[in-house]
Chain A
Amino acid sequence: MHRLRVFNSGAFRLALLFVVIFAVGAIALVAAVNVAVTRYASQTTATALVDESTLLRGEAQARGRDALGQLILRRERIVHAHQFLYLLLDPQGHPVAGDLPATSAKVGWGEASVAEPAEPNEPSDGQNTVRTYGVRLADGSRLIVGRNTSDLDELSDWLGLVTIWSGLGITVLAVGGGLLIASVFLRRLDRVNRSLQEIMDGRLEERVPAIGMGDEFDRLTGNLNLMLERNQALMDGLRQVSTDIAHDLRTPLSRLRQHLDSMRDLTRPEDLQGAIDDALAQVDDVLSTFHALLRIGQIEGGAGRARFEPVDLSAVMDRVLLAYETAAEDAGKILSAQIAPDIVVNGDPQLLTQLFANLLENALRHAGDRAHITMSLAQVDGAVSAVVADDGPGVPAYERQRVLRRFYRLDASRSTPGSGLGLALIAAIAELHDAELSLSDNSPGLAVGVRFVGPLADHGRGHVQRAAFF
């Protein structure tokens, strides 16, 4: 089973592919060497034959044909069998000296076949090919010089054998190596797959082990783990939200039910009218909760990013401040602001307006009587930093992350109106704008900071805020 999988694995196939590529390369190399060596040897032979025949012809001219015949006999005896073979024919075509067969008596280039010279430990049964070169001497006799080319053929054969054997060796090595790599890979990937299977089976806290075969693979598993973590967080969030929705909507709906139930006993039209208004207000509350949830969902889905534009954040905060001024005054809070002018960020003007409106509303609702609430906007170290702070009861450090969750409410604020979605919406809008949301101690009170770290938009102010006033 495992073997079969190894053969089918990508690593093995990759190894095989390498073998094929390598083999093609090796064959091409050997062929090139073969051609080069053969050509070189054949040229050497030709040169040697021409030189030898020239030398001998000179001998004949100097001392006559008989002397040449003697010389040939001597040379045949001295020179190694593989060097030169000769044939001297008189003008009538009768052989005078030399071992070459009469059939090779041809002026110019030719080929002849001779019996393989006997060598120790080697039976002489084959024929050797001899390359010949013939010249006509001054008196009409012919001189043929030949050279055994069997060395060349042997070299050629040997190169061929080397090619085949080394090819086989390489193949065996490559297949073996491929199998080894593949099985190492598979073992490690099996561990990853087992972890993934466990995660699919519901053990969501399981993580993928490092493959450990280099950075690129570890980056892969690292990213897989990050993805799993994010997925788990999202799933936890989803589960928490659906439970919370059920919880938080049951309460107002049961209250509404009681209310409607008690309305059966009302008979006076003005009582009924008031009760209906009450019921409508309660339904509106539930609807606005749904509405906020949908909006958070929409924003978290990334909708709206396509319509980002340069937004004059200073103007947005000024507008929010002006809008809430009277409400703050009427509620007995002291509202102040230090808003630096002309700060522009990339974003959605509507959502940014809502973000600061919600922050201010939170402060107004939770900060208590005579609280001081401050809004500030400044550019610090290249980032835009907006803060809404109050001197109310604040949020304990261990609750600061949790209050960003949907429906999460501090015990102290259970009795105040609100859906528990305000900060979740703020967090979603901040996230959409790549802004860092931070809750910190204002000692006393809470300071909520929104830091826009993305690239600043400093386009002309001409079209800034276009969408805010259609």
Chain B
Amino acid sequence: MKILLLEDDAQTSAFIEKGLRSAGHVVDSCATGRDAIFHAADGAYDVLIIDRMVPGVDGLAALKALRITGVTTPTIFLTAMDGVEDRVEGLEAGADDYLVKPFAMTELIARIDALARRPHLAQALTKIRVGELEIDLLKRSATRAGKAIDLQAQEFKLLEYLMRHAGQIVTRTMLLENVWSFHFDPQTNIIEGHVSRLRAKIDRGFGVEMIKTVRGAGYMIDAPA
């Protein structure tokens, strides 16, 4: 994927560039909001990563300017602050996702993958299928290989999110934000228990595990090869 990074701190910029390149992305970087507007104006990038605090035209203003000129490239906002205000401001300016520094490289990469696939999600889905697992979004029901699986509301929400991002790593933070609406980091690992219960219902008796734990990153649902 072709990514534009706006980040004024050279060290952070180099770290992110290196991480993205080793994940197979093509990265251009710039240090001022003006440059970012200039480079991203033709919409040639797949994803923009914009740091909020840069000197001169800041990330927020740059993103606003781009959105006004009709650039709809999916954008992740990076910021050192995580007050509710900052997040809402970023989203209002037109950001699609929001990541608080410091973050793990795996987190950023997972979010880029999720963002880049977002346009497909815009279509109104009523059913999602991954391998032999299928969920019906209207009936809120799930089946694996035709066998009904009884899920609680929260479990269904978790499964739905995993399946919408099938084949991608979904991090703990992404699950907290999107399934539980927790925009903070709880000290207790509340995800693990939910995933293991969901896994027990989906994978037990079928031999092949569909929900995989990606060490140090998160979870992924995938059709068995």
Using a CB–CB cutoff of 8 Å, the interface residues on chain A facing chain B are: 277, 287-288, 291, 294-295, 298, 303-304, 306-307, 319, 322-327, 329-330, 348-351, 353-354, 357, 361, 364-365, 417-418, 422, 467-470
Contact = CB atoms under 8 A, between A and B. Distances in A.
Contact of A353 (B91, B153, B181): B181
A298 B187 contact: no
Given A298-B83, A361-B186, A326 B193 contact: yes
A326 B190 contact: yes
A303 B83 contact: yes
B84 A304 contact: yes
Contact of A303 (B85, B186, B216): B85
Chain B CB within 10 A, most for which of A287, A307, A330, A417: A330
Contacts of B187: 361, 365, 417-418, 422
Nearest to A301: B83
Given A327-B189, A357-B186, A470 B180 contact: no
Nearest to B183: A350
A364 B188 contact: yes
Contacts of B192: 327, 330
A295 B181 contact: no
B127 interface: no
A291 B197 CA distance: 31
By secondary structure, the A interface counts as helix
By secondary structure, the B interface counts as loop
Interface in B180-225: 180-190, 192-194, 196-197, 216
B88 A467 contact: yes
B190 A323 contact: yes
Contacts of B85: 303-304, 306-307
A307 B91 CA distance: 14
A307 B84 CA distance: 9
Contacts, number: 75
27 contacts: A288-B185, A291-B185, A294-B81, A295-B82, A295-B184, A304-B84, A304-B85, A306-B85, A323-B182, A323-B186, A323-B190, A323-B194, A326-B193, A326-B196, A326-B197, A327-B189, A327-B190, A329-B193, A330-B193, A348-B84, A357-B184, A357-B186, A364-B188, A365-B187, A422-B187, A468-B181, A469-B181
Interface string B69-99: 0000000000001111100100100000000
Given A324-B190, A357-B186, A470-B91, A351 B84 contact: yes
Interface in B157-174: none
A417 B187 CA distance: 9
B169 to A, nearest CB: 18
Given A327-B189, A350-B181, A361-B186, 5 more contacts: A288-B185, A304-B83, A307-B85, A307-B88, A467-B84
Interface residues of B, number: 27
Per CB-CB distance, the 5 closest pairs between chain A and chain B, nearest first, are A326-B193, A468-B181, A327-B190, A323-B180, A350-B84
Nearest to B92: A470
B198 to A, nearest CB: 10
B146 interface: no
A254 to B, nearest CB: 21
A224 B85 CA distance: 33
Contacts of B12: none
Nearest to A419: B187
Nearest to A316: B181
Contacts of B193: 325-327, 329-330
A330 B185 CA distance: 19
A470 B92 CA distance: 10
Contacts of A348: 84
A330 B190 CA distance: 10
Nearest to A357: B186
Contacts of A287: 102
A326 B183 contact: no
A422 to B, nearest CB: 8
A326 B190 CA distance: 7
Contacts of A303: 83, 85
A57 to B, nearest CB: 103
A277 B216 contact: yes
B71 to A, nearest CB: 21
A350 B182 CA distance: 7
Nearest to A418: B187
Contacts of A467: 84, 88
Contacts of A306: 85
Nearest to A417: B187
Contact of A350 (B102, B184, B185, B188): B184
Contacts of B188: 324, 327, 361, 364-365
A167 to B, nearest CB: 65
Contacts of B189: 327
Contacts of A324: 188, 190
Nearest to A467: B88
